[in-house]
Chain A
Amino acid sequence: MTPELKARFDEAIRNNKIVLFMKGNAMFPQCGFSARALQILQQHGQVHTVDVLADPEVRQGIKEYSNWPTIPQVFINGKFVGGSDILMELEERGELAEMISGKGA
């Protein structure tokens, strides 16, 4: 991962409360897991999406950045939260709302 790419990730995550690295965009998700993650997050606020299919460097780079092997990937309040399974589990436990409001761990 180039320093420029890392700086782009840092900036996207710093400037947006909820960031979703996904396959496709908010209008046209290209993968069921990405679509599900987007749907859950949108219930909690505005979601900044990054389409990893638009740039192979981003698709590979984000996996190194978070040390997580799969897409989608969710960042909330500057912190890596996980993929779609973790997101669904956090939503079921009622912890996602707390995390987004900044009250949770």
Chain B
Amino acid sequence: MLDPNAIRERIAGALPGSEVDVRDTTGTGDHFEARVVSPAFAGKSMVEQHQLVYAPLQDWLKTGELHALALKTYSPEQWKKFGNR
């Protein structure tokens, strides 16, 4: 069972200067959603942005400890444009 904070710390550690929110969507510690706003995403496609977030979580994804992580990713510029929907 994973803690949202543990996930948040890994993402923030891999993407310095990011704003990261993680929520347990089912209360079972294996399904989460995350919103990440990071300067590292500028100029990257959404697939590339998601891959940057998944990278520090690979071991948890492989073992199935982390079963699902729904992502919303934004560069700071995209966040200004689309963040308040």
Q: How many residue pairs, one in A and one in B, have C-beta atoms under 8 Å apart?
A: 26
Q: Is the CB of A86 within 8 A of B50?
A: yes
Q: How many residues of A contact B (CB 8 A)?
A: 13
Q: How large is the interface on B (under 10, 10 to 19, 20 to 34, 35 or more residues)?
A: 10 to 19
Q: Which of B43, B71, B85 contacts A92 (CB 8 A)?
A: B85
What chain A residues lie within 8 Å of B51 (beta carbons)? 67
Chain B stretch 28-85: residues in CB contact (< 8 A) with chain A? 43, 45-47, 50-51, 70-72, 78, 81-82, 85
What is B's interface to A at a CB cutoff of 8 Å? 43, 45-47, 50-51, 70-72, 78, 81-82, 85
What is A's interface to B at a CB cutoff of 8 Å? 67-68, 79-82, 85-86, 89-90, 92-93, 105
Closest 8 CB pairs of A and B: A82-B47, A86-B46, A93-B82, A82-B46, A80-B47, A85-B70, A86-B47, A90-B46
